Amino acid sequence: RILDKQIIVVNFLVDDLRFYLEIDKFSRLADGMEDAEPQNTESENYSSFLKKKLEVISKLFLDSDIPPKLRVRPQE
């Protein structure tokens, strides 16, 4: 489909939305990380959690085992 002079792949719309929502959540969590004290155990656990979340986002959307490897449309 064409919308506003751009080709829209309907199959990617759902993945694009999920990717956007996950990145938005990740960004909010990472912003909260700046407020945490750098040397306490809680912030280390939080940092580890964010790294795992980043790996999951990458695996699901950017380097998928299910073809195509890139599950979202790159920004132009």
What is the pLDDT, as a whole number, of residue 3? 55
Q: Decide if 73 is inside a domain.
A: no
Mean pLDDT across the chain:
75
Q: Which domain holds residue 52?
A: 2-62
Q: Decide if 69 is inside a domain.
A: no
Task: Tell me what percent of the residues of the chain surpass a pLDDT of 90.
Answer: 0
Q: Decide if 14 is inside a domain.
A: yes
- Amino acid identity of residue 7, one-letter, is I
CA distances from 61 to 40, 68, 74 (A): 32, 10, 11
Q: Decide if 58 is inside a domain.
A: yes
Higher pLDDT residue, 76 or 58? 58
Strands (E), the chain: 2-3, 6-7
Q: Decide if 20 is inside a domain.
A: yes
Strands (E), 5-73: 6-7
Count of domains forming the chain: 1
Q: Decide if 19 is inside a domain.
A: yes
Q: Decide if 75 is inside a domain.
A: no
Q: Is the pLDDT of residue 36 over 60?
A: no
Q: Decide if 21 is inside a domain.
A: yes
Instruction: Give mean pLDDT, residues 39-53.
Output: 76
pLDDT in tens, 4-25: 666 666 677 777 888 888 888 8
- Of 50, 53, 73, the closest CA to residue 62 belongs to 73
